[in-house]
Amino acid sequence: MAKTTDTKTTGTKTTGTKTTDTKTTGTKITNTKTVVRKKTKKRSQAAETWARLKTQPLAMFSLGVVVLLVLVAIFADVICPYSLAIKQVAADKLQPPGTPGHILGTDNFGRDILARIIHGARTALEIGVISAFLSVIISTFLASLCAMIGGIVDNIIMRIIDVISCIPSLVLALAICAALGNGIPQLIVALFFSGLPMHTKMIRSVALGVAKMDYIESSVALGASPGYIMLRHLFPNLTSIIIINGTAQISMNIMMGATLGFVGLGVKAPTPEWGTMLSGGLSYMMRNQYMVLVPGIVLALAALFINTFGDCLRDALDPKLKGKA
């Protein structure tokens, strides 16, 4: 009996000890996991987007070209004086590339082509960025009104947008420039209206889907004003499409601005502008091809790399869209 009692007692102690150790170990593991979870922080959307961009060599290269273009536009006066881009020297006209003092040659008025290319970058970005910014911001506001208020407001806004979109964007820009005259402000207004219908329709389609989310419907049920819901919930969810559309519109507006300059409806002379340079060199293309090739290549490369970066940025912001048109 004594042996049996001892054996049972020992077994009970052993079992109790094991059970206690197991529970203690389990508690330690749980605590460790809790600590790890507390230390791990979720990255912001900007950080995740940048991390995806860094894995794409084409995105980083195109970003480098875009940054270089922006820096050239900002520091154009530091790189070369503005007077070189507009000063007419009859003795230096039609100098070929490689001429001392004129790396890319001169035009038919003796103006330095490199200086006009550099200062033309400022003109192109000024027109492209400002007009694209206005188009995207106003279209976002209109699309948000359509999504949040709906009804007669949605019908009125979209019918006006439909009327504007019936006119091809380039034809509309040509008509506005012909009515308002030449100049950078007139170009910005023309390009703003030409890009407004497309962005309003695209952003409205996304905003309508966001407006049906449960948390927005809950805010409406609690009595939140449409303005508060737009600022607090709707706009943050439209950030991706705003950035994507804005980047694409900048490239499009640069090309359209050059097109308007080519047909004589661009900036006022002698302001340096790539489309005007193409138009001016057209008459000398047979003997002085560089007058057309230099601004044409620069314009094509600028549009190409801005578009390429926009595509890569779209894939980084929303990987589900990768490979889709």
Higher-confidence position of 46 and 27: 46
Model pLDDT, residue 191: 96
- DSSP secondary structure letter of residue 234: I
Task: Quote the number of domains for the chain.
Answer: 1
pLDDT in tens, 107-126: 999 999 999 999 999 999 99
Interval 158-169 mean pLDDT: 93
Spatial distance between the Cα atoms of 248 and 270, rounded to a whole number of angstroms: 29
- Per the CB < 8 A criterion, the answer to whether 256 and 191 are in contact is yes
Q: Is residue 89 part of a domain?
A: no
Q: Is residue 61 part of a domain?
A: no
Model pLDDT, residue 92: 87
Model pLDDT, residue 45: 73
Range of the domain at 151: 113-321
Spatial distance between the Cα atoms of 136 and 141, rounded to a whole number of angstroms: 9
Q: Is residue 255 part of a domain?
A: yes
Which CATH number belongs to the domain containing residue 160 in this structure? 1.10.3720.10
Model pLDDT, residue 324: 52
Q: Is residue 96 part of a domain?
A: no
| Of 256, 98, 115, residue with least CA distance to 187 | 256
Q: Is the pLDDT of residue 195 over 60?
A: yes
H or E stretch covering 267: none
pLDDT band at residue 166 under the 50/70/90 scheme: very high
Model pLDDT, residue 34: 47
What number of CA atoms fall less than 13 Å from residue 250's CA on the CB side? Answer: 25
pLDDT band at residue 4 under the 50/70/90 scheme: very low
Higher-confidence position of 204 and 222: 204
- DSSP secondary structure letter of residue 44: P
- DSSP secondary structure letter of residue 303: H
Q: Is residue 233 part of a domain?
A: yes
Q: What is the mean pLDDT of the chain?
A: 84
pLDDT in tens, 284-299: 888 889 999 999 999 9
Q: What is the signed CA dihedral for 182, 188, 194, 198, rounded to 10 degrees?
A: 170
pLDDT in tens, 73-108: 999 999 999 998 998 888 889 999 998 889 999 999
What's the pTM? Answer: 0.80
Interval 68-74 mean pLDDT: 96
Q: Is residue 91 part of a domain?
A: no
Q: Is the pLDDT of residue 282 over 70?
A: yes
Model pLDDT, residue 42: 66
Q: Is residue 166 part of a domain?
A: yes
Q: Say how far residue 224 (Cα) sits from the centre of its chain.
A: 31
pLDDT in tens, 250-277: 999 999 999 999 999 989 888 999 999 9
Q: Is residue 289 part of a domain?
A: yes
pLDDT in tens, 9-43: 444 444 444 444 444 444 444 444 444 444 456 67
Interval 157-175 mean pLDDT: 93
Model pLDDT, residue 32: 47
